[in-house]
Structure 1
Amino acid sequence: MLRRLASLAAVLCAFTLAPPALAAKPKIAFRLEYAPPTPAEDCPDAEELAFMLAGEFGYMVVRTDVSPVVRVEVHSVRRSFEAELWGPALEDGAEAWHGKTDTQGTCRELAYDIASLVRARLGPGAWGREAPPAHLAAPPEVEVQRPELHPVALRLPESLALLVPWTSAFVESSTSNAEEAPVQVEAGLGAAVSPYGLPSVAVGGNGFLGVRWRRFAGFAEVRGLITPASGIGERQIPGRATTWTGSALPCFATKHVDACAVVSLSQLQIDLGPGRAVTGSDGFSVGFGGRINGHISLSDRFSLLGYADINMQLRSIALVLDGTVPDWRSPLLRITLGVALTANFSD
């Protein structure tokens, strides 16, 4: 098998390196009758010998759809090999030629001698004229070409187009926008910081899931923030504030910037630690505001998103420890900044 592949590679190299004029030269063709010795003793088979002949002639000279025949018989002579050959005469009606090779130590070396001898007897150098003998000339090869396919525009008959004019418009617009995905599903995780709106600067994270069209996007987000510093109000009461916020964001979308409206529901909790009672410190609030998203594409699937969120709360949350005077009251305005890594899950 390896030797057959090697022979085929040699033939392909010969075809590739052959000068362009070779294809224009007249060709002959013949059938091959091959009888190796028994046992074969590493002799090439008929298919491999045909490849060797093709390497000598520069094309596949052995064919099955022609009449001329070249017969090859290989004989073992003691520890060597020799071949006897019969082939058609160059002149029509003349006696067929018969030849014998010198002996070779291996049957494979003998096969190369056989290919050289056949070319010497039947090749262009033996014709003595430009055209090969008519009885040896190779018939033309029929090449089957793949038909060219052209896209056909879908058009309705005029009678139907008058009844449903919107159909043709839909076909034309869908063709022009076929490259754009109708819906993209996005999800993201990121970090957030709130510099204003809580007892002190708060840090945390957020996650969101949304869909994006060509000019519109919609997202649902959950965000959690906590104040690392322990100090609330003017008296710096030891304690920390935690807020959880769920938001819905309808957005006008462009390639790199989204302008979004924000509707949020939030829960604020303040923990003063054990031993201290909290009165009116926990509170639920509804907020409305806006957000600007800026996103940069990192790859076909991932993007980096940064945002600034301004949200106005409908009520203020008060922290009261002693008496009726609040020790801290939340401002109505909350500002949040964040950055997130987003992934596009649409194909």
Structure 2
Amino acid sequence: MFLQKSYACLMSVISLLSFTVNLLAIVILCRGKCALSKCITRYLVAMAASDLLVGITDPFLSQTILSYFPYSFLNITPVCTTIYFLIFTATAVSVWLTVAFTFDRFVALCCEQQKTRYCTKRTAAVIIGAVSVLGCLENVPRCFAIVPGYVFDNLPWGCYYKPTFYTSSAWIAYDVTHRVLTPCIPFFLILLLNVLTVRRIVAASKVRRGLRGRSNGEHDKDLEMENRRKSIVLLVSITGTFILLWATQAVFIMFTSIAKTGYDSSPTGYYYITRVTSAFLQLLSTCTNTCIYVVTQSKFRIELINAVKFPMRAMRAHLHSEFHTTRKQGV
């Protein structure tokens, strides 16, 4: 019981943190003052929006409200079905947007001929829209696998998978496909693209330094390599954190799918602890991108500081205005 209550508290904290940091990231990035291209900005805003939706629906609505308030309207079958649909859709979209961002940076840093045609804000908008639509379509069948736990006053309550979901070949194939698509394939795609990108940039840097040394023998600052360095730091920070926080979940999903391990509901059982830990780390990944922007992007830090100072400045200006108004009235 203590572990379950502690887990519920952690989920509430993650939900609040995810909501705050992602909302701040969306507002700051949309202002367009972070010295990032419009293509990168669109990907980062879309990733923050999907992480925001995951943070609201999964740790808060699903794991806190639905679990500890079983008689709220959120437990009516159509409502909780919608919540579960949003959870799976937002998670899939968030994961595949990370893949799309990684591929975009791979093209920008390693494929000079395709860079001007692919790495544009229009292409980014099309990719984001396609990923969002496909994420929704991929999870629509799941809604038809959910049935109510009981009916009270002609109102269905609770959301449970129908028994055939675990026995039917079609549903088993669908569930395995979903597990492969999120997060197994993205996990390895991101890792592969990162390795190829870093290897290409390191090789290009050596060649460029050699050519510059032969041409002028100077050690002045190379702006092109500096921009590439900043891009690679941002890319590796985002995708590396994603890989680290999703690794436990990916391994856990593959192990349970292959081993067919039965569910152990005991809070002290290894299955339950691993499942909870992997879910916690996965949800924590929705809060990390904003922290990465703060560490790696100086312009973003400045905008964040300004956003934090804005309420205090507004309050001080209001008090200053009220003071002068009162003083004039007194005179």
TM bucket, shorter chain: under 0.3
> Higher relative contact order by CA 8 Å / sep ≥ 6: 1 or 2?
2
When normalised by structure 2's length, the TM-score is: 0.20
Structure number with the higher strand fraction is: 1
| Structure whose CA Rg is larger | 1
Given the two structures, how large is their TM-score scaled by the length of structure 1?
0.19
